Structure 1
Amino acid sequence: MKNGLIYTQLLFCVTIFCHAQNPIVANQGLNDPHIHIFNDTAYVYASHDKSITNDKFIMDDWWVWSSPDLVNWTKRSVLHPKDTYIGKDYSRCWATDAAYNNGKYYWYFSEGNEQTGVVVSDTPIGPWKDPLGKPLLTSDLTPTHEYDMSIFEEDGDHYIFFGVWNYYVAKLNDDMISLAEAPKKIVINNPRGPYNRDGKNNDMPTDDKPFVHKYNGKYYLSWGCFYAISDNLYGPYDYVDTIIKESSFTEGYDSPTWPNGFLQGRHGSFFEWHNQSYFVYCDISQTGNRYFRDAFISYVHYKDNGEIATIRVDGIGVGQYDANNGAIEAEDYFKAENVDKTENVIGGFSINPKATNGFVTYPNIQNLNKKSTIEFEFLSQTDTQIEVRESNPNGKLLATCKFKSNSTKAFKTESFKIEELQNGQTVCLVFKAASVENLKINRFRFK
């Protein structure tokens, strides 16, 4: 149906994971995920592998799911290819991305590995309308293939990235459905990829699924778990590293992998919410089938030199914690205000407050009901103090923790009594005046 309204299926099935949040939606084939935060809600725009019995890529539609907390997800919308310019059933509904501009939401989709289309709506979940009745990016536009796009926004302007092996970028017009310029090829110096580990495969130097995000004034171009950095959006980009290593995996999440190993097939995207950074990406460790993929989320932390630290791949995921699973890393918070993440002297990351009453929250902490002590690993240049509160900075006071100054410059541990803990509780750490620029917390645990 060209230029008509595409009505979504609103499916009110909530999938909840209490103790293992990765995959974010298990056994559904949700993959190629891009997460955007609209109106303080997370929306994942994704492809959909049809069945666990797939022996090739069979992808009949595109999906939108939403979440208030990155833990509980609800299916909100299905886009069928017959309701776009494609005009018929189609089994190669490849990767998507979305954007917001001038009161409208735009959802871009891949017609296999050849072309890119776009639909538009007044809401993040539809109903959707195909405004062009034809592809936005046609198969003859550039020497690469015009698919697996991503959208980058800066200062109100939007740019579309796309391609495989060699990537192209073009600025979009303000209407979001036409190009403001001819696509430009992106130069990547010394690229690597899942098929090009040694830098000698000039035919397949990178991969498909380019994505760009910005951090601390630098542009990060990624393809799966590989990334490069530039001072300019258009490049050139210098290849840096992968964010997944052998050390990333906890038990049960390191295999099976793709034919070219665990670095292959990690299509995904970076996003930020509540001053925390994340990477959402494909995984097949739980399905065992490269044609029936899941989506995982991991925390992202940046080193002082701008490089991305190796991420953790596990079943806990983000936005929830298990008090029986050892220490909670302080930098793995869900929400923060007036708090920095910084590299520390023992090779990880710590948090330190920038202003009085700066805070961090850790929601959905399981197995708290039999705990009565909270233990911190910290550095404190002076005598400092924090409050542990329930839910938010103004919530019920659970403990007051006073840290003594530590002149050794080494992390030390100290324990404090804590009351009224309950399973599933949200814990908020509130930093008092003396803590500002003087206290660093590395991790904490409940006992």
Structure 2
Amino acid sequence: MKALKTALTIGLLGPLTSLIAQQNPIFPGNYADPEGIVYDNTYWVFPTYSAPYGEQLFFDAFSSKDLVNWQKHPRIIDNKEVTWAHQAMWAPAVLEKDGKYYFFFAANDVHEGEIGGIGVAVADNPAGPYKDLLGKPLINKIVNGAQPIDQFVFKDKDGTYYMYYGGWKHCNMVKLKSDFTGLLPFDDDTYYKEVTPENYVEGPFMFIKDGKYYFMWSEGGWTGPDYKVAYAIADSPFGPFERIGTILEQDNEIATGAGHHSVIKVPNEEKYFIVYHRRPLGKTSAHDRVTCIEEMHFDDNGLILPIKMTFEGVKHPLE
């Protein structure tokens, strides 16, 4: 590292300096729907492998100590392990609990009467290999018009685990058993609550900041240029989630189709990063999606400031 810094300082590496300055996308290849998390002081991103549905049948993961240099962990799970997944696996949600690493995913682009939906797998290591926990979907049926996809698992202040999920412009929340093998009823004995905010399409995400619940989602069509991210702030994980505004959208000088994100908080710091996918300029295929990162900023009232997409991403630690 010292030698590299010295070489950069005296200009010995020439073209490498421009490569270091341009960090977005953060790793090569078509990857979308990135879920970012910190495990043991290491940053991890679990994305969808963006390809035609017949090819989108495995997951890779990426890890980094600095949010800039990424190591690829190939095929942490695939449809050979998830035997009920036969068409498309996407949109991971991940967490650690009691030394085990859990990996939630959607599979099969399920419709009414079909097998598919939201599954869960478990491993002893963030890089896997992950094993199908149930041998079947955790959520298969369509409730409140929400296709069972795009799940995000959220641990509340009291230790309760909720899952927000849903496509087709509907978002449900459910309460999970502590071992993630099934659902628990809410206090009113129901199992599903619709919490759909205005303009919601898919890709929910939640985090807590200063005691407030920041609920985020994607709008527009994922195959088109107008994909975007909006958010709400509530006092409860149940909402209501009143739309505040758009914070990430296409930029005709950078990329289109910016959406389906997650948020990483730097441990022990009030610093937040949004990890998202976008479609490079000139690319029109639905599968031409790459994973990028930008820093998030808030105003004095806690509102999220609009995020400008960049090619630089997060500054290299040597800069």
SS of residue in 2 equivalent to 1:209:
strand
The equivalent residue for 2:92 is 96
Counterpart Cα distance in 2 of 1:244 and 1:96: 20
Shift of 1:157: 2.4
**Residue 166 of structure 1: aligned partner:** 170
Q: Which residue type is aligned with residue 291 of structure 2?
A: A
1:82 deviation in Å? 2.3
- 2:210 aligns to what? 216
1:139, distance to aligned residue in structure 2 (A): 2.4
Following the alignment from structure 1 to structure 2, what is the Cα–Cα distance between the partners of residues 65 and 229? 30
Instruction: For 1:133 and 1:234, locate their aligned partners in 2 and report how far apart those are by CA, in whole Å.
Output: 30
The one-letter code of the counterpart of 2:89 is: C
- RMSD after superposition: 2.2
**CA deviation after TM superposition for structure 1 residue 183, in Å:** 1.8
SS in 2 for 1:364: coil
Which residue in the other structure is 1:281 paired with?
A: 276
Residue 61 of structure 1, aligned match among 51, 58, 62: 58
Letter in 2 for 1:212: M
Match of 1:350 in 2: none
Task: Kindly indicate whether the alpha-carbon contact (under 8 Å) linking 1:252 and 1:285 is maintained by their aligned counterparts in 2.
Answer: no
| 2:81 aligned partner, one-letter code | D
DSSP-derived class of the 1:237 partner: coil
User: 1:175, 1:216 → 2: CA distance?
Assistant: 28
Query: Identity percentage over the alignment?
Result: 29
CA offset digits 1:397-441 (Å, max 9, x no partner): xxxxxxxxxxxxxxxxxxxxxxxxxxxxxxxxxxxxxxxxxxxxx
Change (3 A) 1:113 1:307: farther
| Distance verdict in 2 for CA 1:296–1:57, change over 3 Å | farther
Residues 355-366 of structure 1 aligned to structure 2 (within 5 Å): 363-365=317-319
Is this contact kept in 1: 2:146–2:171, CA < 8 A? yes
Letter in 2 for 1:64: A
Question: Which of 15, 20, 39 does residue 18 from structure 1 map onto?
Answer: 20
Q: CA deviation at 1:173?
A: 1.2
Q: Report matched runs for 1:186-265 at 5 Å.
A: 186-188=195-197, 191-192=198-199, 206-224=200-218, 225-244=229-248, 249=251, 252-254=253-255, 257-258=256-257
What is the SS of the residue equivalent to 1:33? Answer: strand
Cα displacement string for residues 85-123 of structure 1 (whole angstroms, at most 9, x for unaligned residues): 426xx3411211101111111000101333000100111
Distance 1:234 1:283, change over 3 A: same
How many correspondences in the alignment? Answer: 275
Aligned counterparts of 1:245 and 1:64: Cα–Cα separation in 2: 25
Preserved CA contact (<8 Å) 2:105 2:120? yes
Structure 1 letter corresponding to 2:106: S
Counterparts of 1:136 and 1:287 in 2: how far apart (Å)?
39
Cα distance in structure 1, aligned partners of 2:93 and 2:84 = 18
Residue 74 of structure 1: aligned partner: 71
Summarize the alignment of residues 250-329 of structure 1 with structure 2, pairs less than 5 Å apart: 252-254=253-255, 257-258=256-257, 266-274=259-267, 275=269, 276-285=271-280, 288=283, 289-320=285-316
Distance (whole Å) between structure 1 residues aligned to residue 278 and residue 54 of structure 2: 15
Larger Rg: 1
- Inter-partner Cα distance in structure 2 for 1:215 and 1:57: 39
The TM-score, its normalising length taken from structure 2, stands at: 0.80
Distance 2:121 2:300 in 1: 40
The aligned residue for residue 30 of structure 2 is: 29
Contact 1:77 1:126 in 2 (8 A): no
SS state of the match for residue 101, structure 2?
Answer: strand
3-state SS in 2 of match to 1:311: coil
Q: Is the 8 A contact 1:71 1:318 kept in 2?
A: yes
Normalising to structure 1: TM-score of the pair?
A: 0.58
Equivalent pair of 1:85/1:135 in contact (CA under 8 Å): no
Counterpart for residue 360 of structure 1: none
1:153-208 CA distance string (max 9 Å, x none): 123322111002121111211102221221211153xx13xxxxxxxxxxxxx211
Structure 1 stretches of 5 or more lacking a match? 1-15, 193-205, 259-264, 321-362, 366-447
Structure 2: stretches of 5+ with no match in the other structure: 1-17, 111-116, 186-190, 219-228
Once the two structures are TM-superposed, the CA of residue 58 in structure 1 deviates from its matched residue by 4.8
Distance 1:59 1:44 in 2: 17
Rate the CA distance shift 1:168–1:292 in 2: closer, same or farther, 3 A: same
Cα displacement string for residues 104-150 of structure 1 (whole angstroms, at most 9, x for unaligned residues): 11000101333000100111111211121110011245531111101
Report 1 or 2 for greater relative contact order, CA contacts < 8 Å, sequence distance ≥ 6: 2
Would the aligned equivalents of 1:187 and 1:235 in 2 still touch at CA under 8 Å? no
Q: Distance in 1 between matches of 2:145 and 2:237?
A: 21
Counterpart of 1:120? 122
Pick closer, same or farther for the CA change 1:219–1:93 going to 2, 3 Å.
Answer: same
